[in-house]
Amino acid sequence: MMYLMTAASPVPTTSDSGGAAASSPDLAELLRRSARGDEESFARLYDATSRRVFGLVLRVVRDHAMSEEVTQEVYLDVWRTSARFDAQKGSALSWLMTIAHRAAVDRVRSSESSRRRDDAHATSAQAVAFDETAEAAEASLEAQRVRKALSTLTEAQRSAVELAYLGGYTHTEVAKLLGLPLGTAKTRIRDGLIRLRDTLGVPA
Amino acid sequence: MSPDLHHLSGAYSVDALDRDERSAFESHLAECEACRSEVTELSATAHSLAVLAEAGPPASLRTAVLAGISQVRPLPPLTADDAAEDADDEPTIVGPTTPMGGEAGVARAGATVIPLFRRTTTWIAAAAAAAVLAVGGAAWSPWSADQPTLSALQRVIQAPDAATVTSHKGAVTATLAYSRELNRSALTVTGMPPAPDGHTYQLWYMGSDEVARSAGFLTPSPDGRAEAVLAGGLTGAAAVGVTVEPTGGSAAPTGQPIMVMAVA
Protein backbone atom coordinates (compact mmCIF):
# COMPACT_ATOMS: atom_id res chain seq x y z
CA MET A 1 0.00 0.00 0.00
CA MET A 2 1.19 3.46 -0.73
CA TYR A 3 0.19 6.99 -0.10
CA LEU A 4 -2.34 8.46 -2.42
CA MET A 5 -3.85 5.11 -3.10
CA THR A 6 -7.23 6.78 -2.95
CA ALA A 7 -6.45 9.52 -5.45
CA ALA A 8 -8.62 8.78 -8.44
CA SER A 9 -6.00 9.66 -10.96
CA PRO A 10 -2.83 11.67 -11.09
CA VAL A 11 -3.62 15.31 -11.60
CA PRO A 12 -1.04 17.55 -13.21
CA THR A 13 0.73 19.53 -10.57
CA THR A 14 0.85 23.27 -10.64
CA SER A 15 4.54 23.19 -11.18
CA ASP A 16 4.66 26.28 -13.34
CA SER A 17 2.83 28.45 -10.92
CA GLY A 18 5.71 29.92 -9.04
CA GLY A 19 6.72 29.99 -5.46
CA ALA A 20 4.70 27.20 -3.95
CA ALA A 21 5.68 24.74 -6.57
CA ALA A 22 9.22 25.97 -6.39
CA SER A 23 9.59 23.92 -3.26
CA SER A 24 8.00 20.76 -4.65
CA PRO A 25 10.32 19.83 -7.41
CA ASP A 26 9.03 17.67 -10.20
CA LEU A 27 12.34 16.08 -11.02
CA ALA A 28 11.44 15.22 -14.59
CA GLU A 29 10.45 18.80 -15.27
CA LEU A 30 13.64 20.07 -13.65
CA LEU A 31 15.62 17.78 -15.94
CA ARG A 32 13.77 19.06 -18.99
CA ARG A 33 14.57 22.62 -17.98
CA SER A 34 18.17 21.71 -17.28
CA ALA A 35 18.42 20.36 -20.80
CA ARG A 36 17.56 23.87 -21.99
CA GLY A 37 20.40 25.27 -19.94
CA ASP A 38 18.38 26.39 -16.94
CA GLU A 39 20.95 26.33 -14.15
CA GLU A 40 18.48 27.35 -11.49
CA SER A 41 16.33 24.32 -12.21
CA PHE A 42 19.40 22.18 -12.02
CA ALA A 43 20.25 23.66 -8.64
CA ARG A 44 16.79 22.67 -7.44
CA LEU A 45 17.30 19.20 -8.82
CA TYR A 46 20.56 19.02 -6.90
CA ASP A 47 18.94 20.21 -3.69
CA ALA A 48 16.17 17.67 -4.00
CA THR A 49 18.41 14.69 -4.70
CA SER A 50 21.91 15.30 -3.38
CA ARG A 51 21.36 13.58 -0.02
CA ARG A 52 20.25 10.46 -1.80
CA VAL A 53 23.00 10.54 -4.39
CA PHE A 54 25.86 11.52 -2.10
CA GLY A 55 24.73 9.07 0.58
CA LEU A 56 24.73 6.19 -1.87
CA VAL A 57 28.08 7.13 -3.36
CA LEU A 58 29.60 7.50 0.11
CA ARG A 59 28.21 4.14 1.15
CA VAL A 60 29.83 2.44 -1.81
CA VAL A 61 33.05 4.42 -2.05
CA ARG A 62 33.62 5.10 1.67
CA ASP A 63 36.34 7.67 1.13
CA HIS A 64 34.75 11.05 1.75
CA ALA A 65 36.86 13.12 -0.63
CA MET A 66 36.49 10.57 -3.38
CA SER A 67 32.75 10.44 -2.81
CA GLU A 68 32.59 14.16 -3.34
CA GLU A 69 34.50 13.81 -6.60
CA VAL A 70 32.23 11.06 -7.83
CA THR A 71 29.11 12.96 -6.84
CA GLN A 72 30.33 16.02 -8.68
CA GLU A 73 31.01 13.95 -11.79
CA VAL A 74 27.57 12.37 -11.54
CA TYR A 75 25.83 15.71 -11.49
CA LEU A 76 27.95 17.04 -14.30
CA ASP A 77 27.00 13.99 -16.32
CA VAL A 78 23.33 14.42 -15.43
CA TRP A 79 23.48 18.04 -16.58
CA ARG A 80 25.24 17.12 -19.80
CA THR A 81 22.84 14.30 -20.69
CA SER A 82 19.64 15.76 -19.28
CA ALA A 83 18.08 16.06 -22.74
CA ARG A 84 18.39 12.30 -23.10
CA PHE A 85 16.20 11.56 -20.11
CA ASP A 86 12.91 10.07 -21.25
CA ALA A 87 10.11 10.18 -18.71
CA GLN A 88 8.26 7.51 -20.68
CA LYS A 89 10.97 5.06 -19.74
CA GLY A 90 11.14 5.58 -16.02
CA SER A 91 11.32 8.07 -13.22
CA ALA A 92 13.85 10.85 -13.12
CA LEU A 93 15.06 9.70 -9.72
CA SER A 94 15.66 6.17 -10.94
CA TRP A 95 17.56 7.49 -13.94
CA LEU A 96 19.71 9.68 -11.74
CA MET A 97 20.39 6.94 -9.23
CA THR A 98 21.36 4.53 -12.00
CA ILE A 99 24.03 6.95 -13.15
CA ALA A 100 25.20 7.55 -9.59
CA HIS A 101 25.41 3.89 -8.63
CA ARG A 102 27.22 2.93 -11.78
CA ALA A 103 29.72 5.74 -11.26
CA ALA A 104 30.38 4.79 -7.64
CA VAL A 105 30.84 1.13 -8.45
CA ASP A 106 33.12 1.78 -11.38
CA ARG A 107 35.22 4.08 -9.26
CA VAL A 108 35.82 1.57 -6.49
CA ARG A 109 36.70 -1.11 -8.97
CA SER A 110 39.71 0.73 -10.28
CA SER A 111 42.70 -0.56 -8.37
CA GLU A 112 43.77 2.72 -6.86
CA SER A 113 40.39 3.40 -5.41
CA SER A 114 39.98 -0.14 -4.19
CA ARG A 115 43.03 0.41 -2.09
CA ARG A 116 41.63 3.62 -0.70
CA ARG A 117 38.34 2.00 0.09
CA ASP A 118 40.07 -0.88 1.82
CA ASP A 119 41.94 1.59 3.96
CA ALA A 120 38.74 3.33 4.86
CA HIS A 121 37.00 0.05 5.43
CA ALA A 122 39.66 -1.02 7.89
CA THR A 123 39.05 2.02 10.01
CA SER A 124 36.16 1.23 12.24
CA ALA A 125 35.72 4.90 13.07
CA GLN A 126 34.67 5.41 9.47
CA ALA A 127 31.82 2.97 9.85
CA VAL A 128 30.69 4.65 13.04
CA ALA A 129 30.67 8.04 11.35
CA PHE A 130 28.60 6.62 8.57
CA ASP A 131 26.04 5.19 10.94
CA GLU A 132 25.61 8.58 12.51
CA THR A 133 25.06 10.35 9.22
CA ALA A 134 22.53 7.70 8.32
CA GLU A 135 20.47 8.24 11.43
CA ALA A 136 18.19 10.87 10.00
CA ALA A 137 17.40 8.75 7.00
CA GLU A 138 16.79 5.72 9.13
CA ALA A 139 14.03 7.58 10.84
CA SER A 140 12.19 8.34 7.66
CA LEU A 141 9.10 6.53 6.63
CA GLU A 142 10.55 5.20 3.46
CA ALA A 143 13.56 3.79 5.25
CA GLN A 144 11.20 1.96 7.56
CA ARG A 145 9.28 0.64 4.60
CA VAL A 146 12.45 -0.54 2.87
CA ARG A 147 13.80 -2.14 6.06
CA LYS A 148 10.54 -3.95 6.48
CA ALA A 149 10.65 -5.19 2.91
CA LEU A 150 14.25 -6.33 3.36
CA SER A 151 13.20 -8.35 6.36
CA THR A 152 11.02 -10.50 4.13
CA LEU A 153 14.09 -11.73 2.27
CA THR A 154 16.05 -14.79 3.30
CA GLU A 155 19.31 -14.01 5.04
CA ALA A 156 21.28 -15.06 1.97
CA GLN A 157 19.16 -12.93 -0.34
CA ARG A 158 19.34 -9.88 1.89
CA SER A 159 23.09 -10.12 2.37
CA ALA A 160 23.67 -10.64 -1.32
CA VAL A 161 21.51 -7.67 -2.35
CA GLU A 162 23.05 -5.36 0.25
CA LEU A 163 26.63 -6.35 -0.52
CA ALA A 164 26.01 -5.87 -4.23
CA TYR A 165 24.03 -2.64 -4.16
CA LEU A 166 25.24 -0.84 -1.05
CA GLY A 167 28.64 -2.51 -0.94
CA GLY A 168 29.36 -2.25 -4.65
CA TYR A 169 30.73 -5.79 -4.90
CA THR A 170 30.47 -8.00 -7.98
CA HIS A 171 28.40 -11.15 -7.70
CA THR A 172 31.63 -13.15 -7.73
CA GLU A 173 32.93 -11.16 -4.79
CA VAL A 174 29.58 -11.49 -3.05
CA ALA A 175 29.75 -15.27 -3.43
CA LYS A 176 33.17 -15.32 -1.80
CA LEU A 177 32.16 -12.98 0.99
CA LEU A 178 29.15 -15.14 1.81
CA GLY A 179 30.83 -18.49 1.24
CA LEU A 180 28.38 -19.34 -1.52
CA PRO A 181 29.25 -21.59 -4.44
CA LEU A 182 30.49 -19.52 -7.36
CA GLY A 183 27.60 -18.56 -9.60
CA THR A 184 24.88 -18.73 -6.97
CA ALA A 185 25.19 -15.18 -5.71
CA LYS A 186 23.69 -13.78 -8.90
CA THR A 187 20.64 -15.95 -8.34
CA ARG A 188 20.36 -14.81 -4.72
CA ILE A 189 20.59 -11.19 -5.85
CA ARG A 190 17.91 -11.65 -8.46
CA ASP A 191 15.57 -13.61 -6.18
CA GLY A 192 16.06 -11.01 -3.47
CA LEU A 193 15.33 -8.10 -5.79
CA ILE A 194 12.23 -9.79 -7.14
CA ARG A 195 10.89 -10.31 -3.65
CA LEU A 196 11.73 -6.72 -2.76
CA ARG A 197 9.97 -5.51 -5.88
CA ASP A 198 6.87 -7.49 -5.01
CA THR A 199 6.90 -6.26 -1.42
CA LEU A 200 7.61 -2.62 -2.19
CA GLY A 201 4.96 -2.52 -4.85
CA VAL A 202 6.95 -1.57 -7.91
CA PRO A 203 4.51 -2.78 -10.51
CA ALA A 204 5.25 -5.95 -12.34
CA MET B 1 17.40 -16.38 -24.79
CA SER B 2 20.06 -18.10 -22.80
CA PRO B 3 18.89 -18.96 -19.31
CA ASP B 4 22.34 -18.15 -17.99
CA LEU B 5 22.21 -14.63 -19.34
CA HIS B 6 18.67 -14.15 -18.15
CA HIS B 7 19.72 -14.86 -14.60
CA LEU B 8 22.17 -11.98 -14.77
CA SER B 9 19.36 -9.43 -14.79
CA GLY B 10 19.44 -8.98 -11.01
CA ALA B 11 23.19 -8.66 -10.82
CA TYR B 12 23.15 -6.25 -13.77
CA SER B 13 20.52 -4.12 -12.06
CA VAL B 14 22.79 -3.59 -9.06
CA ASP B 15 25.95 -3.20 -11.16
CA ALA B 16 27.33 -6.47 -9.82
CA LEU B 17 28.66 -7.75 -13.14
CA ASP B 18 32.27 -7.34 -14.12
CA ARG B 19 33.01 -5.44 -17.31
CA ASP B 20 32.95 -8.44 -19.64
CA GLU B 21 29.74 -9.81 -18.21
CA ARG B 22 28.20 -6.37 -18.33
CA SER B 23 28.86 -5.87 -22.01
CA ALA B 24 27.73 -9.41 -22.83
CA PHE B 25 24.52 -8.83 -20.93
CA GLU B 26 23.96 -5.47 -22.61
CA SER B 27 24.17 -7.15 -25.99
CA HIS B 28 21.64 -9.64 -24.74
CA LEU B 29 19.41 -6.85 -23.43
CA ALA B 30 19.13 -5.32 -26.86
CA GLU B 31 17.43 -8.52 -28.02
CA CYS B 32 15.53 -9.69 -24.96
CA GLU B 33 12.41 -7.79 -24.07
CA ALA B 34 11.80 -9.87 -20.95
CA CYS B 35 15.20 -8.94 -19.57
CA ARG B 36 14.75 -5.28 -20.46
CA SER B 37 11.52 -5.16 -18.57
CA GLU B 38 12.95 -7.03 -15.62
CA VAL B 39 16.02 -4.81 -15.43
CA THR B 40 13.81 -1.74 -15.48
CA GLU B 41 11.84 -2.99 -12.51
CA LEU B 42 14.71 -4.42 -10.54
CA SER B 43 16.80 -1.26 -10.99
CA ALA B 44 14.01 0.90 -9.66
CA THR B 45 13.60 -1.54 -6.80
CA ALA B 46 17.31 -1.56 -6.00
CA HIS B 47 17.45 2.23 -5.94
CA SER B 48 14.88 2.27 -3.18
CA LEU B 49 17.66 0.89 -0.97
CA ALA B 50 19.52 4.16 -1.34
CA VAL B 51 17.19 5.72 1.21
CA LEU B 52 19.04 3.65 3.82
CA ALA B 53 22.27 5.46 3.03
CA GLU B 54 21.20 9.10 2.79
CA ALA B 55 23.85 11.58 3.84
CA GLY B 56 24.18 15.31 3.30
CA PRO B 57 27.05 16.45 1.09
CA PRO B 58 29.12 19.44 2.21
CA ALA B 59 27.91 22.81 1.00
CA SER B 60 31.15 23.24 -0.94
CA LEU B 61 30.10 20.40 -3.20
CA ARG B 62 26.97 22.27 -4.27
CA THR B 63 29.07 25.28 -5.13
CA ALA B 64 31.48 23.13 -7.12
CA VAL B 65 28.71 21.35 -8.99
CA LEU B 66 26.96 24.55 -9.96
CA ALA B 67 30.21 26.19 -11.00
CA GLY B 68 31.02 23.09 -13.03
CA ILE B 69 27.80 22.94 -15.01
CA SER B 70 28.07 26.57 -16.02
CA GLN B 71 31.09 25.52 -18.08
CA VAL B 72 29.34 22.68 -19.88
CA ARG B 73 26.81 22.73 -22.67
CA PRO B 74 24.07 20.12 -22.28
CA LEU B 75 23.94 17.60 -25.10
CA PRO B 76 21.13 18.03 -27.61
CA PRO B 77 18.21 15.58 -27.47
CA LEU B 78 18.41 12.44 -29.53
CA THR B 79 16.80 12.95 -32.90
CA ALA B 80 14.72 10.48 -34.85
CA ASP B 81 17.85 9.50 -36.75
CA ASP B 82 19.71 8.77 -33.54
CA ALA B 83 16.77 6.87 -32.20
CA ALA B 84 16.38 4.79 -35.31
CA GLU B 85 19.50 2.88 -34.41
CA ASP B 86 17.85 1.75 -31.23
CA ALA B 87 14.31 1.61 -32.47
CA ASP B 88 12.50 -1.61 -31.88
CA ASP B 89 8.84 -2.23 -31.42
CA GLU B 90 9.56 -1.77 -27.74
CA PRO B 91 11.36 1.08 -26.03
CA THR B 92 15.00 0.16 -25.99
CA ILE B 93 16.72 0.10 -22.69
CA VAL B 94 20.38 0.74 -22.89
CA GLY B 95 22.71 0.91 -19.96
CA PRO B 96 25.68 3.20 -19.90
CA THR B 97 28.65 1.39 -21.30
CA THR B 98 30.96 3.66 -19.43
CA PRO B 99 29.95 5.27 -16.19
CA MET B 100 30.35 8.84 -17.25
CA GLY B 101 29.91 8.29 -20.96
CA GLY B 102 26.29 9.09 -20.60
CA GLU B 103 25.51 9.15 -24.29
CA ALA B 104 23.78 5.83 -24.25
CA GLY B 105 23.13 5.66 -20.58
CA VAL B 106 19.96 7.52 -20.45
CA ALA B 107 17.14 5.14 -20.77
CA ARG B 108 17.77 2.25 -18.46
CA ALA B 109 15.60 2.85 -15.49
CA GLY B 110 12.04 2.30 -14.59
CA ALA B 111 9.73 2.15 -17.62
CA THR B 112 6.96 0.75 -15.49
CA VAL B 113 7.41 2.84 -12.40
CA ILE B 114 4.00 4.35 -11.91
CA PRO B 115 3.45 7.90 -10.76
CA LEU B 116 2.18 6.71 -7.39
CA PHE B 117 5.52 5.19 -6.65
CA ARG B 118 7.35 8.28 -7.72
CA ARG B 119 5.17 10.49 -5.67
CA THR B 120 5.50 8.35 -2.60
CA THR B 121 9.21 8.48 -2.96
CA THR B 122 9.05 12.23 -3.22
CA TRP B 123 6.99 12.62 -0.08
CA ILE B 124 9.24 10.50 1.99
CA ALA B 125 12.46 11.75 0.54
CA ALA B 126 11.34 15.28 1.23
CA ALA B 127 10.64 14.43 4.83
CA ALA B 128 13.98 12.78 5.24
CA ALA B 129 15.78 15.68 3.63
CA ALA B 130 13.94 18.45 5.36
CA ALA B 131 13.58 17.36 8.93
CA VAL B 132 15.57 19.27 11.46
CA LEU B 133 14.30 18.13 14.80
CA ALA B 134 14.58 20.24 17.89
CA VAL B 135 12.81 19.00 20.96
CA GLY B 136 11.18 21.69 23.01
CA GLY B 137 9.23 24.73 22.03
CA ALA B 138 11.72 27.43 22.87
CA ALA B 139 12.14 28.68 19.32
CA TRP B 140 8.45 29.05 18.78
CA SER B 141 7.11 32.56 18.42
CA PRO B 142 3.62 33.14 17.11
CA TRP B 143 3.52 36.37 15.17
CA SER B 144 0.11 37.61 15.97
CA ALA B 145 -1.54 37.60 19.33
CA ASP B 146 -5.01 37.89 17.92
CA GLN B 147 -5.11 34.79 15.77
CA PRO B 148 -8.22 32.86 16.63
CA THR B 149 -6.15 29.71 16.82
CA LEU B 150 -3.66 31.15 19.23
CA SER B 151 -4.85 29.40 22.32
CA ALA B 152 -4.84 26.04 20.60
CA LEU B 153 -1.41 26.84 19.20
CA GLN B 154 -0.14 27.77 22.62
CA ARG B 155 -1.52 24.63 24.14
CA VAL B 156 0.44 22.61 21.62
CA ILE B 157 3.61 24.62 22.09
CA GLN B 158 3.48 24.59 25.83
CA ALA B 159 2.72 20.91 26.19
CA PRO B 160 5.38 19.21 28.32
CA ASP B 161 6.26 16.87 25.48
CA ALA B 162 6.08 19.48 22.71
CA ALA B 163 8.55 19.08 19.88
CA THR B 164 9.16 21.17 16.79
CA VAL B 165 10.34 20.34 13.30
CA THR B 166 11.54 23.14 11.05
CA SER B 167 11.74 22.83 7.30
CA HIS B 168 13.30 25.33 4.89
CA LYS B 169 12.47 25.31 1.21
CA GLY B 170 13.67 28.32 -0.68
CA ALA B 171 12.13 31.36 0.95
CA VAL B 172 9.57 29.28 2.82
CA THR B 173 10.20 28.33 6.41
CA ALA B 174 7.74 26.01 8.08
CA THR B 175 7.72 25.00 11.71
CA LEU B 176 5.56 22.19 12.94
CA ALA B 177 4.94 21.90 16.67
CA TYR B 178 3.35 18.78 17.97
CA SER B 179 2.48 17.04 21.16
CA ARG B 180 1.78 13.35 21.34
CA GLU B 181 0.31 13.89 24.75
CA LEU B 182 -2.26 16.39 23.47
CA ASN B 183 -2.55 14.45 20.22
CA ARG B 184 -2.39 17.75 18.33
CA SER B 185 -0.06 19.60 16.01
CA ALA B 186 0.22 23.12 14.63
CA LEU B 187 2.01 24.51 11.61
CA THR B 188 3.47 27.97 11.14
CA VAL B 189 5.00 29.21 7.91
CA THR B 190 6.72 32.35 6.66
CA GLY B 191 7.67 33.44 3.19
CA MET B 192 4.81 31.54 1.59
CA PRO B 193 3.31 32.93 -1.63
CA PRO B 194 -0.46 32.80 -2.12
CA ALA B 195 -1.78 29.56 -3.54
CA PRO B 196 -2.22 29.72 -7.33
CA ASP B 197 -5.62 30.94 -8.59
CA GLY B 198 -8.28 28.32 -8.05
CA HIS B 199 -6.12 26.45 -5.60
CA THR B 200 -5.53 26.19 -1.90
CA TYR B 201 -2.89 24.74 0.39
CA GLN B 202 -4.14 21.60 2.06
CA LEU B 203 -2.62 19.91 5.10
CA TRP B 204 -2.28 16.17 5.53
CA TYR B 205 -1.40 13.74 8.23
CA MET B 206 0.42 10.82 6.71
CA GLY B 207 0.16 7.67 8.71
CA SER B 208 2.70 5.00 9.34
CA ASP B 209 0.09 2.88 7.58
CA GLU B 210 0.90 5.12 4.59
CA VAL B 211 -2.54 6.63 4.26
CA ALA B 212 -2.89 10.40 3.92
CA ARG B 213 -5.61 12.04 6.01
CA SER B 214 -6.78 15.60 5.38
CA ALA B 215 -5.92 17.94 8.24
CA GLY B 216 -7.41 21.21 6.99
CA PHE B 217 -6.06 24.16 5.06
CA LEU B 218 -3.40 26.81 5.24
CA THR B 219 -4.03 30.34 4.00
CA PRO B 220 -1.05 32.69 3.96
CA SER B 221 -1.60 36.34 4.72
CA PRO B 222 -0.33 38.93 2.22
CA ASP B 223 3.00 39.03 4.04
CA GLY B 224 3.45 35.31 3.51
CA ARG B 225 2.70 34.13 7.00
CA ALA B 226 0.22 31.48 8.00
CA GLU B 227 -0.50 29.28 10.93
CA ALA B 228 -2.96 26.53 11.55
CA VAL B 229 -3.76 23.93 14.13
CA LEU B 230 -4.18 20.76 12.17
CA ALA B 231 -7.61 19.20 12.14
CA GLY B 232 -7.82 15.77 13.66
CA GLY B 233 -5.56 13.86 15.97
CA LEU B 234 -1.90 13.15 15.60
CA THR B 235 -2.35 9.49 16.45
CA GLY B 236 -0.96 7.26 13.77
CA ALA B 237 0.76 10.10 11.91
CA ALA B 238 4.37 9.73 10.90
CA ALA B 239 4.59 12.93 8.89
CA VAL B 240 2.72 16.12 8.08
CA GLY B 241 2.60 17.36 4.51
CA VAL B 242 1.31 20.34 2.53
CA THR B 243 -0.01 20.06 -1.01
CA VAL B 244 -1.58 22.46 -3.50
CA GLU B 245 -5.14 21.34 -4.20
CA PRO B 246 -8.07 22.75 -6.15
CA THR B 247 -10.07 25.24 -4.11
CA GLY B 248 -12.26 23.35 -1.68
CA GLY B 249 -9.66 20.72 -1.12
CA SER B 250 -9.35 17.11 -2.14
CA ALA B 251 -10.18 13.84 -0.45
CA ALA B 252 -6.65 12.65 -1.07
CA PRO B 253 -3.53 14.48 -2.23
CA THR B 254 -3.58 14.98 -5.97
CA GLY B 255 -0.29 16.76 -6.35
CA GLN B 256 3.20 16.52 -5.03
CA PRO B 257 3.78 17.91 -1.56
CA ILE B 258 5.51 21.23 -1.27
CA MET B 259 6.63 20.41 2.26
CA VAL B 260 6.81 17.29 4.34
CA MET B 261 7.85 17.12 7.96
CA ALA B 262 8.42 13.88 9.77
CA VAL B 263 7.14 13.59 13.32
CA ALA B 264 8.77 11.37 15.88
Which residues in chain B are closer than 8 Å to A1, comparing Cβ atoms? 209-211
Sign of CA dihedral A193, A199, A201, A204: positive
Using only C-alpha atoms, chain B has a radius of gyration, in whole angstroms, of 24
Q: Nearest by CB to B106, from A85, A133, A140: name it.
A: A85
Domain that holds residue B170: 120-262
Is residue A178 pLDDT above 60, yes or no?
yes
Q: Nearest by CB to B112, from A47, A86, A203: name it.
A: A203
Strand bridging mode B226-229 / B172-179: unpaired
Least confident of A112-121, A141-150, B77-86: A112-121
Q: Which of B84, B112, B140 is the last residue of a domain?
A: B112
Please check whether residues B32 and B56 belong to one and the same domain: yes
Q: Can you give the residue ranges of every domain in chain A?
A: 24-123, 140-204
Strand partners, B244: B201
Question: B128 and A21 in contact by Cβ < 8 A?
Answer: no
Pair B215, B232: CB distance under 8 Å? yes
Range with top average pLDDT, A112-121, A146-155, B121-130, B232-241:
A146-155
Q: Which of B112, B135, B159 is the last residue of a domain?
A: B112
Task: Give the tens place of pLDDT for each residue, B14-53.
Answer: 999 998 999 999 999 988 989 988 999 999 999 999 999 9
Least confident of A26-35, B115-124, B214-223: B115-124
| Mutant choice from A29, A72, A140 vs B, greatest count of B C-beta within 10 A | A140
- Residue B256, exposed/middle/buried by CB under 10 A (0-12, 13-18, 19+)? buried
Q: Which CATH number fits domain A140-204: 3.10.20.70, 2.60.130.10, 1.10.10.10, 3.60.20.10?
A: 1.10.10.10
Please check whether residues B104 and B169 belong to one and the same domain: no
Q: How many CB pairs under 8 A join A and B?
A: 398
Which chain B residue is nearest to residue A69, measuring alpha carbons? Answer: B61
User: How many other CB atoms are there within 10 angstroms of residue A111's CB atom?
Assistant: 7
In whole angstroms, give the CA distance from residue A201 to residue A79: 30
Question: B107 and A174 in contact by Cβ < 8 A?
Answer: no
CB neighbour list of residue B154: distance below 8 Å, 6 or more residues apart: B142
Number of domains in chain B: 2
Which residues in chain B are closer than 8 Å to A18, comparing Cβ atoms? 193, 196
Question: A137 and B55 in contact by Cβ < 8 A?
Answer: yes
The mean predicted confidence, pLDDT, of chain B is: 72
Question: B10 and A200 in contact by Cβ < 8 A?
Answer: no
Please check whether residues B93 and B159 belong to one and the same domain: no
Please check whether residues B224 and B124 belong to one and the same domain: yes
Q: What CATH number is given to the structural domain containing B41?
A: 1.10.10.1320
Which residues in chain B are closer than 8 Å to A204, comparing Cβ atoms? 41, 112
Is residue A139 pLDDT above 70, yes or no?
no
Q: How close are the terminal C-alpha atoms of chain A, in Å?
A: 15
Which chain A residue is nearest to residue B170, measuring alpha carbons? Answer: A23
DSSP state of A36: T
Fold of A24-123: Rna Polymerase Sigma Factor; Chain: A (1.10.1740)
Average pLDDT over residues B215-237: 82
Which amino acid makes up residue B39? V
Query: Nearest CA of chain A to the CA of B210: how many Å?
Result: 5
Task: Give the tens place of pLDDT for each residue, B128-186.
Answer: 444 333 333 333 333 333 334 446 666 777 777 877 777 777 777 788 888 888 888 88
Q: Which of B112, B146, B175 is the last residue of a domain?
A: B112
In whole angstroms, give the CA distance from residue B73 to residue B71: 7
CA angle B126, B129, B132 (to 5 degrees): 115
Query: Nearest CA of chain A to the CA of B128: how many Å?
Result: 5
In whole angstroms, give the CA distance from residue B220 to residue B240: 17
pTM of the model: 0.55
> Considering only residues 141 to 200 of chain A, which have any Cβ-Cβ distance to chain B shorter than 8 Å?
141-147, 150, 161-162, 164-166, 168-172, 174, 185-187, 189-194, 196-197, 200
Task: Give the tens place of pLDDT for each residue, A44-97.
Answer: 999 999 999 999 999 999 999 999 999 999 999 999 999 999 887 788 999 999
Please check whether residues B247 and B220 belong to one and the same domain: yes
Question: B52 and A171 in contact by Cβ < 8 A?
Answer: no
Which phi and psi (to 5°) does residue A67 adopt? -65, -35
Q: Nearest by CB to A43, from B66, B73, B76: name it.
A: B66
In whole angstroms, give the CA distance from residue B37 to residue B208: 31
